[in-house]
Amino acid sequence: MRDGQKRCSLSFTDRRVALRQMPELWVTHLGSVPYAEAFELQRTLRDRRAAGELPDLLLVLEHPPVYTRGKRTEPADLPLGEDWYRERGIAVEDSDRGGRVTYHGPGQLVAYPIMAVDRVADFVHKMEAAIVAALADEGVTAEPRATPLTGVWAGDAKIASIGVRVREGVSMHGLAVNVDNDLTPFEWIVPCGIDQVRLTSLARETGRSPSLPCFRKRMAFRFSEAFGRRQRLVSASRLLEREAVAA
């Protein structure tokens, strides 16, 4: 028995050593942040990451209701006009990410990785794998699809979107997963340029009201795992400290 216990102890120790040797991914949970404010924060952090002042990091948050227009957005993607949307409490903001128009709102998980990127395609595939794994933890089978049906899908309905921009070798923007948000605003646009696409959410797929705080933690864990990183929780104030941190 003692020999068996020793073997288990050694195995556990080895795992702890391996975990400590993994590079860190700083993870910051920001709560609800207006899109324009989060956009400026991303720019600041991207510049610091490019300068080697910060390690790779992941911002996890929600947005108040907003339509964001990617670089390839067309006028027909917002068919009802900006004033109509704003009258219903939905902001309309431009973004320098790829893709077209999408919606963000309360109850939707948004995650923005500020990370060094070598190959964009590999980077996106790892994000897709992280989303699929986090949804599987909740009992939802999902899969990524190729262009033009980008994102992650549960059956014939889209449950998550990805849109990134890489400049100076560092990423901005990221992913959004519908958890328990209102899906109606998607019906008023052409989401991601895909006409007549059906949207779904974790709540709709499972028939229950999932906990967004719990799913935030699950998504951050699966994201870190997909990139082979050790998650380290960091406050927002720590990100903005001027002291450089080894990247």
- Annotated catalytic residues are 192
Please tell me the distance from the alpha carbon of residue 3 to that of residue 176, in angstroms, as a whole number: 48
Residue type, 118: D
The one-character DSSP state at 173 is E
> Dihedral (C-alpha) 180, 45, 220, 34: value to the nearest 10 degrees?
-10
Alpha carbon distances (Å) from 66 to 113, 131, 187, 237: 20, 22, 14, 25
Residues 6+ apart with CB under 8 A from 186: 103, 199
The one-character DSSP state at 72 is T
What are 233's two structure tokens? 């929780």
Residues 6+ apart with CB under 8 A from 170: 46, 49, 50, 114, 115, 116, 117
Please tell me the distance from the alpha carbon of residue 164 to that of residue 120, in angstroms, as a whole number: 9
Please tell me the distance from the alpha carbon of residue 144 to that of residue 200, in angstroms, as a whole number: 14
Residues 6+ apart with CB under 8 A from 238: 28
The alpha carbon of 39 is separated from its chain's Cα centroid by a whole number of angstroms, namely 14
